[in-house]
Amino acid sequence: MLCIKAIKNPIILLTSKNRFLAKNRFSLNDIVVAMAPFNYLNKIKKGLFTVAPFTVLYLLIGCKNTPSQTEMEQWKAEVVAVEKEFNDMAQEKGLAEAFAYFAAEDGVIKRNRKIVQGKMAIREWYKKDVRPNESLTWKPTFVAVGNAGDLAYTYGDYVFTAIDSSGVKKESKGIFHTVWKRQTDGRWKFVWD
């Protein structure tokens, strides 16, 4: 994939069939004919500019498609830390507060075959559904972060514990999956749980 950033003049890329290329959904093989800043297009009467090899090289060198190993490990550590904070808050303040706090404004949970969307709706769902003698603990066993460092997902083991009316403790174990998105303030919030 070709990355174009830090260029002051917008760029139009044309293929051999004179079609405009859509948002980053092309490869270098697609760039065969022309590249020109918008402000020069009105000066073109016939034909197309030929792309100079150094121009393509400049665009490629100016792009960073993959993060360093250090960056990737830092992002993974951030997500693991957020998962731990999330779990800890659930134990201290309850599921309703923890899920509402760590949800993005447009966060979504799927519970009982229904989608609950939005931070406040998630809080209300947990307030209505969770009983006093219930707890949920979890820990990620896998973390992956996208190359841009703005999306991540985790999965791992959870344990749901409830004490029934006769005082018997019951546990249910399973696997959770959460999708995280870095917010504009740099914090990680879940968008799917």
Structural domain spans, the chain: 11-61, 69-192
Condensed to tens digits (0 to 9), the pLDDT of residues 48-76 reads: 455 455 555 555 555 557 889 999 999 99
Determine whether domain 69-192 maps to CATH 3.10.450.50: yes
The 10s digit of each residue's pLDDT in 156-168 is 999 999 998 888 9
Give me the residue label for tokens 């402000």: 39
Residue 104 scores a pLDDT above 90? yes
pTM metric for this prediction: 0.67
pLDDT of residue 133: 84
- Token pair listed for 165: 């009316």
pLDDT at residue 128 above 60?
Answer: yes
The band of 191, judged by pLDDT with boundaries at 50, 70 and 90, is very high
* Cα distance between residue 26 and residue 24, in whole Å: 6
